[in-house]
Amino acid sequence: MSQLPSNKTMFGHPAGLFLLFGTELWERFSYYAMRAILVLYLVDKAQGQGGAGLGWSEADAIHLYGTFTMLVYLTPLIGGWLADNYLGQRKAILIGGALMALGQFTLAMPHGWVPGMSNEVFYAGLGLLMAGNGLFKPNISTMVGDLYEEGDHRRDGAFTIFYMGINIGAFLSGILVGLVYVQFGHAEIINGQEVFVNNYQAGFAAAGIGMVLSLIIQLTFARKLLGNIGVEPVAKSKQAQQKADESAGPLSKVERDRIKVIFVLGLFTIVFWAGFEQAGGLMNIYTDKFTDRMIGDFEVPTAWFQSVNAFFIVLFAPIFALLWTRLGKRDPSSPVKFAIGLLFLGLGFLFMLGASAEIAGGNAKSSMLWIIGAYLFHTLGELCLSPVGLSMVTKLAPIKLASLFMGLWFFFTGLANKVAALVGAMIGVHGGEADFAAACANDANVQACIDAAKEAAMIDKSFSIFGGLVITGVVSAIILYLLSDKLIDWMHGAEGQNHESLEEELKTTSEHQ
C-alpha cells in the first residue's frame, strides 16, 4: 500500500489534493484549448504566411476529429495497464504530460517548417497527444482517492474540489485560446483580396504552455505533498495479489443479468455521447459559419462557445447533487436518470433547429442564444447521465471482470465519438461542383455565388441532422424509460436505495471529462 504523505492540510484536506487539482486544471486547459480550435483550423480556407488553416472540407475535418477523440478515450486502456504493471501512476503522468506538451508544440509549428511534410508533422502532433493522454488520463483521478484512508468522510468533498478544477480548466481553455488565435492573427492579401488570417499555431502553442505548467506543478510539489502515492505499480501491491487469487469460476445468473444491464445502458450511452460530442465538430463549425457572434463592435471568438458547457457544469453540478439528495426515496433510478439525460439531449437540439429555421426565414445568420440554449440543455443531460455511467459499471460488473468492463465502457464512449463524426460529417457538401458552377455562371462573382450556394445547402442539411438528433434523443429516452423496470430487476439490488454517493458521481464525471 502507498505511504500517505505528511499531515499538512489546506482547507481541511491533504495539501496533495490541491497539487492534483492544479495539475489536472492545466492539463484539461491544454486538451480543451486544442480541441476548441482543431476543426476550425482544419476547415479554414485562408492559407497565408505565419498563420493559416489547412483548407479541408467540413466532412473530412469532422471525420478526423471523430477518429482523434475516439482514440483519446481508448488509449487510456493501454496507459492504465502500463501504469498498473510497470510505470506507476506518478511516472505515467509525467511521461504522458511531456508527450502531450510535445504534441501541442508540434501542432504549433508553422506551415513549411519541415518542407513537404506539413501533413506528416500535423499527424505526428495528434499521435503524441493521443499517446500522452493515454498515460495521463486514467491515473490522475485515481490518485485523488489514494490521498484518503478507507472510510474517510472527506473523500466526497475532495472529488468535488477536483471536479471543479477540471471544469475551471475547460472553461478557461476556450476563452484564452479564442483570444490568442485571433489577437496573433493578421490581415493579408490572398488572391487579390484582403483576408484576416487566424493564427491557430499561436493557439496550439498556448495549449502547450498550459501542459508545461501542469508538468511544472507536478514536478515541483509531488514528492513533498504526495509522499509515495503513485510511485509503485499497483500490480505489485498486496491488494492486487489478493484479487488475483479470487475465484475464476463461471458467472452466476445474477452476474449475467447485471452484465445485460451494462450492455443495454452502453448502447444508450453511445446515443447520448454521439449527440453531445457534436459540440467540438458540427456545432463548432455551425457557430463559426452561421451564427451572429457580434456584440456591438466586438465579435465573440468561436472558441469561446466551447467554454459554455464547463461554465454550466460548474453552475449546475452542486444544484443537481443537492436535488438528488433532497429527493430522498423519490430519487430516480439510474436507468431513469439516463432517460432524462437523453430527453435533455433531444430538447437541446430543438434550439439548433430554431437556429436553422431563423436562417431559412431570411436572416443572414442565427442568434448566438440558440447555441447557448443548446449547450445548456446538453449540460443538464450530461449531469443526469455522465455521473451515473461509470459508477454503475463498478456496481454491476463481476469483481473478477471489473477492469474488463471498465475498459468496455470507455470503448462505448470512444465509439460514440466516431459515430458523432459520421453524423456531423453529413453537413459536408460532396460533389455537385459542376451544378453549382452552372447555376452561378452568369453571376458577377462566380466564386462568391458558389460559396453562397454551398452554404445554403449546408443549412438545409443541418436542419435535417438536428431534426434527426431531436427525434433520436426523445425516442431513445422513451424506450429506455419503458425498459427501466426490467433493467432494475436485472440489477438484483445492486443499486440499493438508488443513491449514488456524491463522491462516486463527481469522480466518474471527472473521468469522462
Backbone angles phi, psi at 127, to 5 degrees: -65, -40
Q: CA separation (Å) from 153 to 142, 158, 159, 260, 505?
A: 17, 9, 11, 33, 15
Distance (Å, rounded) from C-alpha 376 to C-alpha 358? Answer: 19
Distance (Å, rounded) from C-alpha 331 to C-alpha 333? Answer: 7
Is the pLDDT confidence value at 307 over 70? yes
Backbone angles phi, psi at 494, to 5 degrees: -60, -30
Residue 266's closest CA among 210, 216, 335? 335
Q: Label each residue of 118-156 as H, E or C.
A: HHHHHHHHHHHHHHHHHHHHHHHHHHHHHCCCCCCCCHH
Is the pLDDT confidence value at 346 over 90? yes
Distance (Å, rounded) from C-alpha 384 to C-alpha 83? Answer: 31
Is the pLDDT confidence value at 499 over 60? no
262 contact partners, CB below 8 Å, separation of at least 6? 392, 393, 396, 397, 405, 408, 409
| Residue-level pLDDT at 484 | 95
Is the pLDDT confidence value at 1 over 50? no
Residue 14's closest CA among 145, 102, 171, 117? 145
Q: CA separation (Å) from 324 to 167, 332, 372, 382?
A: 21, 8, 25, 15
Q: Could you read off the pLDDT of 438-450 as tens digits, one per residue?
A: 778 777 777 778 7
C-alpha 431: how far from chain center: 32
Backbone angles phi, psi at 5, to 5 degrees: -70, -175
Q: What is the mean pLDDT of the chain?
A: 85
Q: Could you read off the pLDDT of 380-419 as tens digits, one per residue?
A: 999 888 877 767 787 888 877 766 787 788 889 899 999 9
Predicted confidence band of residue 6 (pLDDT cuts 50, 70, 90): low
C-alpha 370: how far from chain center: 21
Distance (Å, rounded) from C-alpha 77 to C-alpha 319? Answer: 32
Predicted confidence band of residue 148 (pLDDT cuts 50, 70, 90): confident
Quick check: 183 and 177 in contact, CB under 8 A? no
**Per CATH, domain 251-513 is 1.20.1250.20:** yes
Lowest-confidence pick of 189-203, 251-265, 283-297, 391-405:
391-405
Quick check: 376 and 312 in contact, CB under 8 A? yes
**Is the pTM above the cut of 0.75?**
yes
Quick check: 139 and 487 in contact, CB under 8 A? no
Is the pLDDT confidence value at 286 over 90? yes
202 contact partners, CB below 8 Å, separation of at least 6? 51, 108, 180, 181, 184
Residue 192, class by beta-carbon neighbours within 10 Å (0-12 exposed, 13-18 middle, 19+ buried)? exposed
The reply to whether 251-513 shares the fold of 9-242 is: yes
Distance (Å, rounded) from C-alpha 352 to C-alpha 302? Answer: 16
Local structure of 502: helix, strand or coil? helix
Distance (Å, rounded) from C-alpha 382 to C-alpha 379? Answer: 5
Distance (Å, rounded) from C-alpha 36 to C-alpha 305? Answer: 9
Residue located via cell numbers 442565427: 366
Distance (Å, rounded) from C-alpha 140 to C-alpha 102? Answer: 19
- Ordered by start, the domain boundaries in the chain are 9-242, 251-513
HSE-CB at 78 with a 13 A cutoff on CA atoms is 11
Q: Can you tell me the mean pLDDT for 233-255?
A: 68
| Residue-level pLDDT at 187 | 79
Lowest-confidence pick of 205-209, 388-392, 497-501:
497-501
Quick check: 58 and 458 in contact, CB under 8 A? yes
| CATH class of the region 9-242 | mainly alpha
Lowest-confidence pick of 89-93, 99-103, 195-199:
195-199
Distance (Å, rounded) from C-alpha 470 to C-alpha 348? Answer: 8
Is the pLDDT confidence value at 497 over 50? no
Which grid cell is 99? Answer: 508527450
DSSP code for 364: S
C-alpha 49: how far from chain center: 31
| Residue-level pLDDT at 311 | 94
Q: Are strands 186-190 and 193-197 parallel, antiparallel or unpaired?
A: antiparallel
Q: Label each residue of 429-471 as H, E or C.
A: CCCCHHHHHHHCCCCCCHHHHHHHHHHHHHHHHHHHHHHHHHH
Which grid cell is 485? Answer: 423496470
Residue 20's closest CA among 172, 164, 131, 153? 164
| Residue-level pLDDT at 455 | 79
Is the pLDDT confidence value at 305 over 50? yes
Local structure of 89: helix, strand or coil? helix
Quick check: 300 and 445 in contact, CB under 8 A? no
